[in-house]
Structure 1
Amino acid sequence: MFMAGMVGLGALLASGAAQAQEVTLRLHQFLPPQANVPQFVIDPWIERVEEAAGGKLKIEHFPAMQLGGKPPELIDQVIDGAVDIAWTVNGFTPGRFPRPEVFELPFMMTNAEAASRAYWELFEKEMKDTDYANLHMLGAWVHGPGVLHVNKPVETMDDMANVKFRTPSRMIGFLLEELNAAPIGMPITSIPEALSKGVIDGAVVPWEVTTALKIPEMVKNHTEFAEGNAFYTVTFTLSMNKAKYESLPDDIKKAIDDNSGMEFSAMGGKIQASYDAPAREKAVEMGNNIITISPEETKKWREAAQPVYERWAADMEAKGIDGKALIEEAQALIAKYTEQQGNGSAEPSTDEAGMDKPAEGETAPAQ
């Protein structure tokens, strides 16, 4: 009788748990679980959403393409409903999301947090019913300033001639061509092998990723630009299958909505960029040569980048998009949010937003 009662109680408890957890969603992305974004952006977001849903929602996180396919297929996986949520890079499918490319233009970004806020605002105004019409967007952000990591010192634009660089996006590819360098596209995880075999002479990536890829061990020269002058950045999205979102109960939708959008996007950019400094310090400790282009010299690089703006605007015009207007809007929004940061009125701190940030000297594998 006692055992029968215990079995009955167990079944009742299991039934109650099943009833409490009404929805399970699958989140798919391309990086390993210990990488910065999965560990410090995505997992905390999942925890907050699940908590807000009061136990009715479970989000299963599948890192490193565990559900199959290749990174460029992530966006179609979420649109088609093969997965419910995906974190991906717009540049994995070049040209498919034209409007967000405005934030990837050279020297467009000031810092990741301000640019991520600008990205979300412009998404709501210009991209929600165009580029991302088939998705329910949860977050949109950028990484920290891109840096040149190369096997020879790059102190002037002339030093770029004929240097083979791994390029992450169409925009930086356009810029490298203007600087007489040779852009070579490849997955970020292929950089170490490509460097070791001489396929490339260097890579353009943010500091954040260099530790995980052991780039400072392979090249000893790093060229960055004066603060507020980002050579480039890359745009990311966390999105959900639209039909799946619309099918959810209102309380679960609210749990997702309350933890997504502008503030989440700003924190995503801020946290990802926060890993730049400890990674840079590692290169300093190794005695590598870090070159910072002065504000005066940066003006020359900015001037050299102008044809990239013209080329992109013309490309947008051919698609029926007013590229020049988008550039002006993006610049104005970035300036607005950068100024708000300077006035101390941009947004809550990382801790206030309930998201983790690196401890002093801490690093983690990166994208």
Structure 2
Amino acid sequence: MTKTLTGAALAAALSFAAGAAAAQDYTLKLHHFLGAKAPAQTDMLEPWARQVEENSGGKVKIEIYPSMTLGGRPPELINQVRDGVVDLVWTVNGYTPGLFPRTEVMELPFVYVNDPVAANLALYDMYADHLAEEYKGVEPMFLHVHAGQAIHTVDKEVRSPEDMAGMKLRIPTRTGAWVIEALGATPVSMPVPDLPQALSKKVVDGALIPWEIIPALKIQDQTDFQIEGHDKTRLGTTTFQVSMNKAKWDSLPEDIQKAFRDASGRDWVAEVGQIWRDIDERGITVATDAGNTHVTLSEEETAAFQTALEPVVQRWIDEVSGKGIDGAAMVETAREMIAKNAEGM
């Protein structure tokens, strides 16, 4: 009896050890630029990581490293993952200007209007035929946008393009810079974690960012006005990617790759769009509760911004045409895909 019990105990111990070893076979590091309490991590990255882990039957562990804790600056994230310094990143495509020109189409004002769900689905549907070739060295898990660029100002109410003349505004991407320039203002490029200090020291008069970042960076304390167009119209958006090092991806067995793919499909990117819409609403509530003024432009005021920003789309078309990309066709495809996915919801 004693020998039987000992043998059973040994077998159980070996089984547990084997299970523990298997659970540690695929421990991956995900690096990003915002804080651990930012909704991007708590509402998007953490649920996605847990779903991958569940899909893998416990074989995958994703460790999330926020606030650039593995070193470097936000613009270095894409090279960190391409070079294999980290396994996964969540990053802003526009932090490396010109590297993802095709995907930029989704950022353009009045190509993207106000619907992150439809835009995410459009990116998903466009990826294989229109976008994939610019993601060499990485394997994107999913692409997404935020709810769109709204105008935040320290102390000036903006209701027309003319109101922005002479202002200095933080922008996240080169397409955002073109928006600011078309409105007669001066763009100032910086990663979003640097924005609170820039606002407080009046290095900038405001910023183009969504509402969602307000609580994380306490933007309500440095600004008085939050401004958006009619029916939540925004002045373009920003594209993001969650991507894995390509060599790491290729080294994973099919069942582990499937665990990632199943967590990153069309249903997920649609959910991500809704997540960003919801956290955007939470953000503007924080600002108004703090006494800030939320300005919603009329249809006529919004149309004036659209007229002023039409040259931005043509500027992008001309720019990418020099790289052999049919920009006009990309704009048409993006608008068609957004409209199709908006109708389908």
Q: TM-score range with shorter-chain normalisation?
A: over 0.9
For 1:61, the equivalent position in structure 2 comes to 64
Q: Structure 2 matches for 1:1-367, cutoff 5 A?
A: 13-109=16-112, 110-128=114-132, 130-150=133-153, 151-227=155-231, 229-341=233-345
Q: Give me the whole-angstrom Cα distance separating, in 2, the residues matched to 1:157 and 1:168.
A: 19
Q: Give me the whole-angstrom Cα distance separating, in 1, the residues matched to 2:324 and 2:232.
A: 32
Residues 79, 135 of structure 1: 8 Å contact kept? yes
AA in 1 matched with 2:29: R
Structure 1: 5+ residue runs without aligned partners? 342-367
Q: Give me the whole-angstrom Cα distance separating, in 1, the residues matched to 2:219 and 2:50.
A: 33
What SS does the aligned partner of 1:236 have? strand
Residues 103, 233 of structure 1: 8 Å contact kept? yes
CA RMSD of aligned residues (A): 2.0
Residues 111, 230 of structure 1: 8 Å contact kept? no
Residues 139, 262 of structure 1: 8 Å contact kept? no
Structure 2: 5+ residue runs without aligned partners? none
CA offset at residue 51 of structure 1?
A: 1.1
Q: Please give the per-residue CA displacement for 1:139-173, whole angstroms capped at 9, x wherever unaligned.
A: 10000022111121111111111011111111121
Q: Give me the whole-angstrom Cα distance separating, in 1, the residues matched to 2:341 and 2:15.
A: 53
Moved segments of 4+, more than 4 Å: 4-12
AA in 1 matched with 2:28: L
Q: Give me the whole-angstrom Cα distance separating, in 2, the residues matched to 1:180 and 1:327.
A: 24
Q: Give me the whole-angstrom Cα distance separating, in 2, the residues matched to 1:123 and 1:53.
A: 25
Q: Give me the whole-angstrom Cα distance separating, in 2, the residues matched to 1:186 and 1:64.
A: 15
Between stretches 329-338 and 295-304, larger displacement belongs to 295-304
TM-score (norm 2): 0.92
CA offset at residue 273 of structure 1?
A: 2.2
What SS does the aligned partner of 1:30 have? coil
What SS does the aligned partner of 1:309 have? helix
Q: Please give the per-residue CA displacement for 1:261-284, whole angstroms capped at 9, x wherever unaligned.
A: 322222222212211112212222
AA in 2 matched with 1:141: H
Q: Give me the whole-angstrom Cα distance separating, in 1, the residues matched to 2:279 and 2:254.
A: 36
Residues 137, 246 of structure 2: 8 Å contact kept? yes
Residues 148, 238 of structure 2: 8 Å contact kept? no
Residues 37, 216 of structure 2: 8 Å contact kept? no
AA in 1 matched with 2:137: N
Q: Please give the per-residue CA displacement for 1:208-243, whole angstroms capped at 9, x wherever unaligned.
A: 111222222222122111115221210000111122
User: What is the count of residue pairs matched by the alignment?
Assistant: 339
CA offset at residue 193 of structure 1?
A: 1.0
Q: Give me the whole-angstrom Cα distance separating, in 2, the residues matched to 1:284 and 1:15.
A: 54
Distance 1:228 1:9, change over 3 A: closer
AA in 2 matched with 1:85: L
Residues 141, 266 of structure 1: 8 Å contact kept? no
AA in 1 matched with 2:273: G
Residues 74, 191 of structure 2: 8 Å contact kept? no
Q: Give me the whole-angstrom Cα distance separating, in 2, the residues matched to 1:34 and 1:275.
A: 13
Q: Give me the whole-angstrom Cα distance separating, in 1, the residues matched to 2:221 and 2:72.
A: 31
Residues 50, 59 of structure 1: 8 Å contact kept? yes
CA offset at residue 41 of structure 1?
A: 0.9
What SS does the aligned partner of 2:184 have? coil
Q: Give me the whole-angstrom Cα distance separating, in 2, the residues matched to 1:35 and 1:20.
A: 28
Q: Please give the per-residue CA displacement for 1:274-330, whole angstroms capped at 9, x wherever unaligned.
A: 111122122222332222111122112111111111111110011111111100000
